[in-house]
Structure 1
Amino acid sequence: MMGILRCAKDMLLVLLSSAATVLSFPDHDWSLLAWGALVPLLLVIRRKPPGMGFVIATVWGMGFISGVFHWITHVPAYSWLHHALLILCFSLPFGFLGLAFTIANRNWGMVPALASVPFFWVSVEYLRSNLSFLSLPWALLAHTQYRHPAVIQWASMTGAWGITFLICLVNAAVAAVLAGILNSGLWRHSREIDGGSMRSVFQLTGVAVLAMLLLLLPAHMEPSGIEGSRNIKVSLIQANIPQESKWDPAHAASIMEVYSELTRSAGLEKPHIIVWPETATPRSVTQDPDLFRQVQYLAKETGAWILLGSSQEQKFQGREVKGLHHTNSAFLIDPEFKTPHLQRYDKMRLLPFGEYLPLKGIIPWAWIHVPDVQGYAPGREPLVFDAGGFRFGTTICWENIFPEMARHLVGKGARCIVNITNEAWFGETAAPYQFLAMSVFRAVENRVHVIRCANTGVSCIIDPEGRIQRRLADASGRDVFVRGVLTDVIATEPAESLYSRMGDWFAVMSVLVSAYLILFSAGRKGKSFPDGASAPFEPPSNVHPSCNSASGRHAFHAH
């Protein structure tokens, strides 16, 4: 009976840890919780054998994934079976994290194992972000801090991985202190903790505090207007076209009327460029000459360049179109018709199961009722648009969640990243705000402005320090499923950061350190250390260990 109660208590703590982590993400945004949400999980699995550590951490992952991705059930043809498979697939990496931690705890002791948690966690996030068609750099712990620019400036050197590392380090230090208190018997006066163990706890805590202090060093915001910068006025069009109307021929004329009216309204403020969202036009401008001319005349009338998204087909369609490959594209329209060739970027990173079916012919997707989506072709290379000397890169839809996409564009000379997207699929859920959180990191990582233009929101301008400079909202402050125009000025400064030059060096280093720690642990003979002790702790020659049957732990008795 006691065993059942203990198991229930452990599961409750693990699920509370998972729930607290979910609440730290958008759109709950209780970001402070992230700095302690992992503590219950670490305290529970520190005493478990490796197999049980794997199971418990997987359960934690299931709670986390189901909570963060609850909005995905709005996607067409997405069933509860698909949701269960997604939860299982993306929960397993956390299981391996629990396995690595418990093995390290068994062989080295609690404090060294806790010190390894930041490396393990960053490795898990990096590997699940680069796992073929399952790559998903979404809901990284770092993303919980997107509303705190002072905290995330190190992302310009380490990427989001460095912020995740620090969050885990603080969680590990808190867990070490609490474990030390619990093990010392201060709350029940049962026994004393070993002095060497508490030294290790204090050392880990000191490292976490030092890291927090270092984190704030680069937190000052650099002023705009450095040499080489240029002020550009941009206007964003948020048309708020319902998803069910976007591809209906009966609504094509009214959709273009909405965009024309909003574009003329934006033109009154004399912007250099006007941005429309992903798949804005009801038909492809490459297949409808009249539609293309209509957009051209709008550009000429307003005197502004127009960047727009246009596609031949909507996502999540299961029909086959023989001999035709669709593209999800962005076009830049010259208001003076001087550009000899139409500037066009075709989306490179297609959405699995929405724009293509991965490993078709190898995996029998029909067995789990996945629609046979096909017909889209990926673009060949990234493009830096040139709008009269204003050089910028464009990402389409979810491409902006991949750090390397923005980094490659900056490497090709982009002074700004423009993300055009349509998130009407997901309804009024956390999805647009989670997209926004990731866009904040693209700005900090590369020290450029990031512009988000979304059909239904959130449309905004993010400065190079990750501050949301302006956000499109109505009078009540509502920023999704509202219609409007946002105009502001950005300073296109030369982009320069360690991350834009070196990429994911910090994450790769964490993977290598984790691999070394795992291999080193595997080479050690399994030893059990008291909770709070570290591997170097050895009893003196006049002390021998004996098992305390009442507690199931090792106690040390002097001769």
Structure 2
Amino acid sequence: MRPGRGGEVTGVGAPRPLWERPVGAVSMALASGLLLALALPPRPYPWLAWVGLVGLLLAVRTASRWRASLLGLLTGALYALASVYWVEGTMVRFGPLPVWLAAAATLLLALYMGGYTALWAAVAPGVIRRHRHTAPVWLATAWVALEWLRTHLFGGFGWAHLGYTQATTPAILQLAEVGGVFAISWLIVAVNAALAATVCHLAGRRPHAIQPQLLAAVAVVFAVVAFGEVRLAAIRATPLRATLGVALIQGNVPEGEKWDPARREEILHRYLSMSEGVGEGAARLIIWPEAAIPYLLQGSPQLEQLLRQVCARTGADLIFGGLWRDPTDQSYRNSAYAITAAAGVAGRYDKLHLVPFGEYVPLARLFAFVRSITAEIGDFRPGTEPTLLPVAGERVGCPICFEVTYPWLTRAFARGGATLLATVTNDAWFGTSVAPRQHLNIAAVRCVESRLPMVRAANTGITAVIDAGGQIVAEAREFETTTLTATVPLRDLPPTLYTRIGEGWLVALLIAWGLAEARREKEKAGSRK
């Protein structure tokens, strides 16, 4: 018998397992990327996430750090490309960029995202060798730390985290109230690592091949499912504080027409007439999408009066997306306004987290050439604080469009006392791809993290209502000019653990991992003496 680099024992002269052969390792890494891609909604296979990383983990188990990173890049880039392929179409239609340049930019984005998986794969063999019994814990911790980093670095890109694969699995999804989407990612990776260890030992014909890590992982999954079911039942049993009638206006204005000066009056009239069509008393809150009005509200008392009249005739307050210009430097903000019949402009929230290369150019000096490629990049400035909008007797946190992908922002709204989330967005950029559905599912996770319901008005869809359990209870069809009316149940639920401590649990695990590494090095040094 001989020990392998990963700690498993194989027979002398026995053929190497498939994952230790070059072609087999590459195949398993690619298979991992494909399985993870199939797990991400709206694809109906969320269970594949729980086994998707097994192939990669086996392939890197005995690999050198360099080879493991390349295998990780294959997995991560394939998963990312299947998740963000729609970026190419957006750049071609609205850049407008040549197909080859848009395809190259999309591939670079996928490689960037895959680079985080490559870093994780590079450290995985060492973790497996040094921490035989606790490897799943530290592998999951490393993965989630890199997901967190990707959500913040270079402006942040929080799309396609592993935890989002469970957005349509209600019981598992409830774990987000404890540790956010990252807690779900952590559990998925830990289960994959435990499965990989068991497969490896089975291949080595070891007795007692079912590893303790796997038994522990299965027990934790069952506990999480039970927790989720209990929490959903507890939410349903909590008495209602109130109900709120809402009317969500899906104007369905094509992106190519949105800023056409010749269409401005027609667009404004569409939203005004659709709002008045709601009827008096049918809703207490009307919401229009992001940048619904192609005018500046500032310095236009006639426009403000029109909006106040709509509120007066319907008996509802209004939230809508629009622009605001800073009079001090003439810079623009992407904003959400609150309008009431009595006060006019009752509040304004300025988007805090702008979309890199969409609403601004990060590291402008370094990437100055980007503006010479396309003129469609905005030049906005970010807001300064997560302002709540006072409408319909509620305190509304209003993440704008892509901001819903940043957990820290909805957490800030919740900590500030929000009683409702209202997202205004324009997903027309995504066309008919899976991106609008992915965007909606990300929003559902934010609801569980904060235990707040969300009403969502999207220009071309998907306009929807999501409850505090993350379930989509009503939605409008995409690319239809329509109004979605619904009654939103409002409950006084206590702040979630995630609202209170955020990623504090991750910091604790990283410290524990560091201490475990330090203790091992100390023991290793002592054994040399």
TM-score by length of 1: 0.83
Deviations 1:450-472 (A, max 9, x none): 11111111111111111112112
What is the CA deviation profile of residues 128-153 of structure 1, one whole-angstrom value per residue up to 9, with x for unaligned ones? 122142x1222111101111111111
**Aligned pairs for 1:79-478 within 5 A:** 79-109=102-132, 112-133=134-155, 135-184=156-205, 193=206, 195=207, 198=208, 201-218=210-227, 219-220=229-230, 221=232, 222-224=234-236, 226=238, 229-267=241-279, 270-311=282-323, 323-335=329-341, 337-338=342-343, 342-361=346-365, 363-366=366-369, 371=374, 373=377, 375-472=379-476
Supply the distance in 1 between the matched residues of 2:236 and 2:159 (Cα, whole angstroms).
Answer: 30
- Contact 2:195/2:214, CA 8 A, preserved across alignment: yes
Indicate the structure (1 or 2) with the bigger Cα radius of gyration: 1
Judge conservation of contact 1:449–1:462 (CA < 8 Å) in 2: yes
Q: CA offset at residue 217 of structure 1?
A: 2.6
**How far does the alpha carbon of each residue in 1:17-62 deviate from its partner, in whole angstroms, 9 at most, with x for none?**
1011011112323211111111111111112122211111112111
- Rounded Cα–Cα distance in structure 1 between residues aligned with 2:107 and 2:123: 25
Aligned equivalent of 1:72: 87
Distance 2:189 2:128 in 1: 16
Greater Cα shift, 260-269 or 272-281? 260-269
Return the letter of the residue paired with 1:95: A
Structure 2: state its 5+ residue gaps.
Answer: 1-15
Q: Say whether the 8 Å CA contact 2:247–2:286 is kept in structure 1.
A: yes
Which one-letter code corresponds to 2:335 in the other structure? S
Distance 1:510 1:252, change over 3 A: same
CA offset at residue 481 of structure 1?
1.2
Secondary structure, counterpart of 1:241 in structure 2? coil
- Rate the CA distance shift 1:252–1:51 in 2: closer, same or farther, 3 A: same
If asked which structure has higher relative contact order (CA below 8 Å, sep 6+), I would say 1
User: What is the CA-CA distance between 1:293 and the residue it aligns to?
Assistant: 2.4
Q: How far is 1:238 from its partner? A: 0.8
3-state SS, counterpart of residue 327 of structure 1: strand
Q: Percent identity?
A: 27
User: Does the Cα contact within 8 Å between 2:318 and 2:391 map onto a contact in 1?
Assistant: no
- Secondary structure at the aligned position of 1:171 is classed as helix
CA gap of 1:115–1:322, structure 2 versus 1, over 3 A, is: closer
Question: Structure 1, unaligned stretches of length 5 or more?
Answer: 185-192, 314-320, 473-478, 527-559
CA shift for structure 1 position 9: 2.5
How far 1:491 sits from its partner (Å)? 2.4
Question: Which stretch of structure 1 is more off in the superposition, 221-230 or 42-51?
Answer: 221-230
State the match for 2:489 in structure 1. Answer: 491
| Residues 236 and 367 (structure 1), Cα distance of their counterparts in 2 relative to 1, 3 Å cut | closer
Q: Distance in 2 between matches of 1:16 and 1:252?
A: 49
Kept in 2, the 8 Å contact 1:104–1:518? The answer is no
Matches of 2:508 and 2:373, distance apart in 1: 37
TM-score after normalising by structure 2: 0.87
In structure 2, relative to structure 1, the CA distance for the partners of 1:42 and 1:312 (3 Å cut) is: same
In the aligned structure 2, how far is the partner of 1:113 from the partner of 1:523?
A: 19
* Count of residues in correspondence between the two structures: 495
Change (3 A) 1:517 1:92: farther
Over the aligned positions, Cα root-mean-square deviation in angstroms equals 2.7
Q: Is the 8 A contact 2:136 2:191 kept in 1?
A: no
Q: Report which of the two has the higher share of helix.
A: 2
Q: Which stretch shifts more, 284-293 or 84-93?
A: 284-293
- The one-letter amino acid of 2:111's match is L
- Counterpart Cα distance in 2 of 1:52 and 1:212: 32
Residue among 464, 480, 490 paired with 1:482: 480
Q: What is residue 553 of structure 1 aligned with on the other side? A: none
Conserved? CA contact 1:161–1:506, under 8 Å: no
Residue matched to 1:8: 23
Match for 1:181: what amino acid?
L
Q: Is the Cα contact below 8 Å between 2:396 and 2:422 reproduced in 1?
A: yes
Instruction: Kindly state the Cα deviation for residue 223 of structure 1 after the two structures are TM-superposed.
Output: 4.2
2: CA distance, partners of 1:206 / 1:59 = 30
What code does the residue aligned with 2:113 have?
F
1:36 aligns with 2:51: yes
Deviations 1:299-344 (A, max 9, x none): 121111011111269xxxxxxx995201111111112x246x6311
Q: Provide the C-alpha distance between the structure 2 equivalents of 1:493 and 1:379, rounded to a whole number of angstroms.
A: 30
Q: In 1, are the aligned partners of 2:127 and 2:139 still within 8 Å (CA)? A: no
Q: Is the 2:308–2:339 contact (alpha carbons within 8 Å) kept by the matching residues of 1?
A: yes
Is 2:41–2:168's contact at 8 Å kept on the other side of the alignment? Answer: no
Distance 1:432 1:64, change over 3 A: same
Residues 202 and 381 of structure 1, relative CA distance in 2, 3 Å threshold: same
Q: What secondary structure is seen at the aligned counterpart in 2 of 1:457?
A: coil
Native 8 Å contact 1:461 1:469 kept in 2: yes
Against the structure 1 CA distance between its residues 517 and 70, is the aligned structure 2 distance closer, same or farther, given a 3 Å change threshold?
farther
Cα 1:4/1:463, change in 2 over 3 Å:
closer
* Aligned residue in 2 for 1:56: 71
Q: What amino acid does structure 2 have at the position aligned with 1:464? A: A
> How far is the alpha carbon of 1:513 from its aligned partner?
3.9
Aligned pairs (5 A) from 1:501-520:
501-516=500-515
